[in-house]
Amino acid sequence: MVFASPIFLFVFLPVFLAIYYLTPPRARSAIILIASSIFYAWWRVDFLALLYAIIGFSWGTALLIDKYRDHKNAKWLLRIGVTANLLTLGYFKYWNFGVSSFIALMTNIGVNVPPEFAHVILPIGISFFVFHAISYIVDVWRKDTPPTRNLFDFAAFITLFPHLIAGPVLRYKDLAWQFVSRKHSFDLFSEGCYRFMAGFAKKVLIADTVAPLADAAFALENPTMADAWLGTAAYTIQLFFDFAGYSEMAIGLALMMGFRFIENFNNPYISRSITEFWRRWHISLSTWLRDYLYIPLGGSRKGPVRTYINLFLTMLLGGLWHGAAWTFVLWGAWHGAILAIERLLGVDPNAPAGILKRATTMSMTLVFVMIGWVLFRAPDLETAFSFYHGMIGLDGIAFSDAYIWQIKGIQIAALIGGIALVFAMPWLERKRTHVTLSKGSIAMQAHPNVIGQALVCALFVIAVSRLLAMSYSPFLYFQF
């Protein structure tokens, strides 16, 4: 089930909210678990067993860690807990990639390997709920959060349907106190509705409208410079409004239930460096990678050379987390290399700068990001390099006949509107206030005026009408 679907909007959500608010507060975790299980099982019932197994194993491991943390071999509980979760993720997400890469390697060196092997189905959202489980185990080990004795609360945290299948990547310590006591009010529920409708409109009216521009461009065999850059620009806008829209919808749904999530995006396309970009893009993942990978690798504590290596490895593994393909590995390496170079050169995005310098660094950063998005979008390396070939004009400059006939006015209008909104959002969001969830975790509280509320409501109605005319509206990050 997806948020942008009639069954969710008109059946699941209203029925859930009615039952949720009629249920006594102490039983609401059980209602969340049941509803979230139905939400997940709408795709495949059988993978619920895997989800429950990860929940039970991680919950029990954390309790054992807390009980035996003073034992000389206690660290093995941490290692077993983290390793078991990683092996589960590795099998389901990377088995097909590993076997196919091995077969390709053997074929290239002249060894004939039968191509038949057991194809493993990727459970939707496994990258997210495995990371949730790992962070919980590690946080208990670090004493950043006490283990919960309430299995329903922990299970509800992992399965909480707003973030279950596409994030944000949350930590139990940010929501633990909210499971014990959380506020419910008309103002909070209204803010949740506003955030959900705004995210829904961004996803359906902008991301889905510009998607055909990107799809058509990446389907070309030999795109020209104009083809490639328009297609890349379309995908840049599509990906942002698709995923940022999903995150905003998740935040809105959580607010309707009394939970406040951390923000996942903070206007990333106005960044003045790749370092700043990763402080603004997919914030929950970048902070997770920092706290559970970069810092354990040594962070910046072991000298400059080791810092550059740690930055590169963190982003390399972050790229692989996004998908089991060499395109994602190279995408991670691209960002990792730039991060290391920026650290080497002492780039400071917060340094004072004039308008011209700010515009220059912002434009350069956006170009670097767009070049990386080609790898992120391309189905294989051959397509990606063909696209780069076109971007530098080696296959012509003007639009090709194969592409231009597919361009529609409404798509260009949505693209222009999306670009304008990217640079207008910092001004539109200026009235947001910070809400501290826990050390290092910040949420935002929106304060829309009457005009803003009316505009979002109108756009939501238009978006729902458009959704009903569409056959399917998937979210891009579901594949990860």
Summarize pLDDT for 434-470 with one digit per residue, the tens.
676 666 666 777 777 788 889 999 999 999 998 888 7
Residue 463 domain boundaries: 186-479
CA 65 to chain centre: 30
Contact between residue 190 and residue 445 where contact means Cβ atoms under 8 Å apart: no
The amino acid that residue 289 corresponds to is L
- Do residues 213 and 169 both lie within one domain? no
User: Residue 182 — very low, low, confident or very high, per pLDDT cuts 50/70/90?
Assistant: confident
- Residue 182 structure tokens: 């959380």
The amino acid that residue 99 corresponds to is V
- Do residues 291 and 419 both lie within one domain? yes
Number of domains in the chain: 2
Name 442's bridge partners.
436
Cite the active site residues: 322
What's the mean per-residue pLDDT of the chain?
A: 89
The amino acid that residue 382 corresponds to is E
- Do residues 304 and 439 both lie within one domain? yes
Q: Taking 80 as the threshold, does the pLDDT of residue 107 lie above it?
A: no
pLDDT in the model for residue 113: 67
- Do residues 208 and 169 both lie within one domain? no
- Do residues 334 and 453 both lie within one domain? yes
- Do residues 195 and 303 both lie within one domain? yes
Final residue belonging to a domain, choices 129, 152, 180? 180
CA 76 to chain centre: 31
Task: Return phi, psi of residue 445, to 5°.
Answer: -115, 120
- Do residues 169 and 314 both lie within one domain? no
Q: Taking 70 as the threshold, does the pLDDT of residue 367 lie above it?
A: yes
User: Residue 183 — very low, low, confident or very high, per pLDDT cuts 50/70/90?
Assistant: confident
pLDDT in the model for residue 436: 65
pLDDT in the model for residue 133: 95
Per-residue pLDDT tens digits for 3-31: 888 899 999 999 999 999 999 988 888 99
- Do residues 334 and 475 both lie within one domain? yes
Q: Is residue 170 in some structural domain?
A: yes
User: Residue 472 — very low, low, confident or very high, per pLDDT cuts 50/70/90?
Assistant: low
Per-residue pLDDT tens digits for 191-245: 999 999 999 999 999 999 999 999 999 999 999 999 999 999 999 999 999 999 9
- Residue 449 structure tokens: 């005026």
Higher pLDDT, 133 or 109: 133
pLDDT in the model for residue 434: 65
Measure the CA–CA gap between 404 and 226, rounded to whole angstroms: 10
pTM score, whole prediction: 0.91
What percent of the chain has a predicted confidence (pLDDT) above 90? 64
Name 441's bridge partners.
438
Q: Is residue 137 in some structural domain?
A: yes
- Do residues 316 and 342 both lie within one domain? yes
Measure the CA–CA gap between 211 and 218, rounded to whole angstroms: 11
Final residue belonging to a domain, choices 180, 215, 247? 180
Higher pLDDT, 114 or 242: 242
Measure the CA–CA gap between 74 and 124, rounded to whole angstroms: 33
Higher pLDDT, 119 or 77: 77
Per-residue pLDDT tens digits for 234-293: 999 999 999 999 999 999 999 999 999 988 999 999 999 999 999 999 999 999 999 999
Q: Is residue 1 in some structural domain?
A: no
Q: Is residue 223 in some structural domain?
A: yes
Q: Is residue 36 in some structural domain?
A: yes
Per-residue pLDDT tens digits for 28-79: 889 999 999 999 998 888 899 999 999 999 999 999 999 988 887 888 999 9
User: Residue 428 — very low, low, confident or very high, per pLDDT cuts 50/70/90?
Assistant: confident
Distances from the Cα of 215 to the Cαs of 208, 268, 337, 433, 444, in angstroms?
Answer: 11, 23, 28, 38, 34
- Do residues 195 and 173 both lie within one domain? no
- Do residues 364 and 428 both lie within one domain? yes
Final residue belonging to a domain, choices 157, 180, 203? 180
Q: Is 389 helix (H, G, I), strand (E, B) or coil?
A: helix
Distances from the Cα of 248 to the Cαs of 94, 158, 355, 402, 417, in angstroms?
Answer: 29, 19, 31, 36, 19
Q: Is residue 206 in some structural domain?
A: yes
Higher pLDDT, 412 or 181: 412
Higher pLDDT, 187 or 445: 187
Give the CA angle between residues 61, 87, 128 to the nearest 5°: 80
pLDDT in the model for residue 12: 95
User: Residue 138 — very low, low, confident or very high, per pLDDT cuts 50/70/90?
Assistant: very high
Q: Give the chain's end-to-end CA distance (angstroms, integer).
A: 16
- Do residues 190 and 162 both lie within one domain? no
- Residue 8 structure tokens: 């969710």
pLDDT in the model for residue 256: 95
Widest pairwise Cα distance in the chain: 71
**CB neighbours of 212 closer than 8 A, spacing ≥ 6?**
406, 408, 411
**CB neighbours of 65 closer than 8 A, spacing ≥ 6?**
74, 77, 78, 81, 137, 140, 141, 147
What percent of the chain has a predicted confidence (pLDDT) above 70? 94
